[in-house]
Amino acid sequence: MSAGAEGAAARTRHRDERHRTGGSGRAERAAADRRRAWEAVESVADPELPMLTLADLGVLGEVEADGDGGAVVSVTPTYSGCPAMGAIRADLDRALRAAGFTRVELRTVLHPPWSTDRITERGRRLLAEHGVSPPGPAPERDGPVPLSLVPRRRALHCPRCGSDSAELTSEFGSTACKALYRCTACAEPFEHMKEI
Amino acid sequence: MTHPFAADADEQSVYAGLVDVDGDASQWAFGTGFDDPLAGVDTAVPADVDRGDLAAYCLMLGDDALVLAQRLAEWCSRAPELEEDVALANVSLDLLGQARLLLARAAAADPGAVPPLPPDSPVPAEDALAYFRDAGGFRNVALAEIPNGDFAQSTLRLLLFSVWRLALLERLRGSADPVLAAVAGKGVAEVAYHRDYAARWAVTLAQGTAESRRRILEGVGAVWPHAAELFAVHPVERRMAECGVAAAPDALLADCEPVLEEVLAAADLPRPATAGPAQARGRAGSHTPALSGLLAEMQSLAREHPGGTW
């Protein structure tokens, strides 16, 4: 965003703020800081899927700033045991401090649970470009989960040759979030981000 | 998009970019640190819920997950195929994550449940609970702690455990404790994959060779006697169910039986009795001798270095 556009955006936001709060320098600073905080965190890469940003992955929630050096960012963990969570929190903390925030709070949000449906379209495209088959729609969460004695059917494409003919090697891949497939057309193995 | 570590065209080593930008390379030896899995979560206990009971209930469910996670981790590098090695490690990791959340929930609900450590101890509450309780302080069911046996036996244990735990977590999504409800909501999607995994292997082994079927039948004999305890009710569970926090264990039988029946039918296995007279022995801290050995291995490092940070 150019400085001019940024200024215009800040003025618009300031008008909105003044409308709501009666206007103050701090509210204006808070709005600008909030945007800066979002810009700082949205481009942080996921440590295990570094082709994706945390925004692409859909783990970032609300971003707040108080206009006085404080920032609060909500993060939704993917799997309960995702070992990358510590690194994600450390990376977010570092990015916010590098952007000038002196008080940083990272809030864990457990509900509603993260779902692969939160991965952005851009994220899905990047996954495929990097050889990971993107997830299909997440299963319904209401009611008892049906047992599946045969591999669940997934509409997926080999990220290398594009064939839609692949066989499941394992529902558990190199990380908890991925299943292993083998393309029956080009015979290459590939990973599929599984739906949760 | 370029790989973030490849941004510098002069980069000589693919590993160079991995080093922490602040120069703290020790994270690669000691990890990045484990902060509170409930950081920023509102852990207030609902007004009409007994804090001690809530903590005890969370320990029960957390210990089930922690102890079975440790058993599953024993398969690492020993499973029949590399894929199963990876799968069992993943299942273990999911359960470990659930255990961390539940132990942290127990500690937040009732700090008195956490073993006392010296005031300068760097050990977080969830670790104090995991590493500084003796077997008598653990509240897990025996099914989680019995030795692995062979792959068939471990498969059947995981089947029984995940059928039961999924039914439990599905009900807990409506718990009167919002933290427990949220933890359960996350766990449902995870345990659904564990259950499918175990069920498919149970059918495959039962319908495989004469040897694999023999082993499955032996496994049934070793595992199923521990089924009844899953549905036995400890007074804490009863009280927590009455105030809407817990799922009453005896009510879960009706959820589990049709699923087990479906798997056993597909596997063409005789249906062993799931219900029966049983006491909630593990919930009361009474365990098989196997738990002490498991804990000795799991806890030795933390106890030898009580001031260590990881």
pLDDT in tens, B81-129: 999 999 999 999 999 999 999 999 999 999 999 999 988 888 999 999 9
Q: How confident is the model at residue B30 (pLDDT cuts 50, 70, 90)?
A: very low
Do residues B186 and A113 lie in contact, with contact meaning Cβ atoms separated by under 8 Å?
A: yes
Closest residue in B to A143 (Cα–Cα):
B170
Residues of chain A with CATH 3.30.300.130: 12-108
* CATH number, domain containing residue B122: 1.20.1260.10
- The interface pTM score, or ipTM, of the predicted complex is 0.85
Rounded CA separation A114/A109 (Å): 9
For residue B170, the distance in angstroms to the closest alpha carbon of chain A comes to: 7
Q: Which residues of B touch A173 (CB under 8 A)?
A: 86, 90
Judge whether residue A10 has pLDDT over 80: no
Interface of A with B in 116-135 (CB under 8 A): 126, 129
B255-283, pLDDT tens digit by residue?
A: 999 999 999 999 999 988 887 888 999 99
Q: What is the DSSP letter of A45?
A: B
Q: How confident is the model at residue A4 (pLDDT cuts 50, 70, 90)?
A: very low
Total domain count, chain B: 1
Domain-located, residue B4: no
Domain-located, residue B32: no
| Helices B290-304 & B51-73 angle (0-180, nearest 10) | 90
Interface of A with B in 6-25 (CB under 8 A): none
Q: Which residues of A touch B22 (CB under 8 A)?
A: 94
Number of C-beta neighbours around residue A127 at 10 A: 23
For residue B20, the distance in angstroms to the closest alpha carbon of chain A comes to: 10
B129-143, pLDDT tens digit by residue?
A: 999 999 999 999 999
B168-204, pLDDT tens digit by residue?
A: 999 999 999 999 999 999 999 999 999 999 999 999 9
Work out the burial of residue B17: count CB atoms within 10 Å of its CB; fewer than 13 is exposed, 13-18 middle, 19 or more buried.
Answer: middle
pLDDT score for B13:
58
Average pLDDT over residues A179-192: 96
pLDDT score for A1:
38
Q: Alpha helices, DSSP H only, in chain A?
A: 3-21, 25-42, 54-57, 85-98, 121-129
Judge whether residue A110 has pLDDT over 90: yes
Rounded CA separation A123/A57 (Å): 7
Contact B91 A79 (CB under 8 A): no
Rounded CA separation B27/B310 (Å): 9
For residue A6, the distance in angstroms to the closest alpha carbon of chain B comes to: 25
Q: Is A153 on the interface with B (CB under 8 A)?
A: no
Do residues B183 and B105 lie in contact, with contact meaning Cβ atoms separated by under 8 Å?
A: yes
Q: Which CATH class is domain A12-108?
A: alpha beta
Structure tokens at B220: 């049934």
Domain-located, residue B218: yes
Rounded CA separation B241/B237 (Å): 6
Find the domain containing B225 and state its range: 51-270+284-303
Domain-located, residue B35: no
pLDDT score for A23:
54
- pTM (2 decimals)? 0.89
Residue type at B168?
L
Rounded CA separation B56/B105 (Å): 10
Interface of A with B in 46-65 (CB under 8 A): 50-51
Strands A189-193 and A132-133: parallel
Strands A70-75 and A103-108: parallel
Domain-located, residue B231: yes
Q: What is the DSSP letter of A69?
A: S
Domain-located, residue B309: no
Structure tokens at B208: 């495989």
Domain-located, residue B257: yes
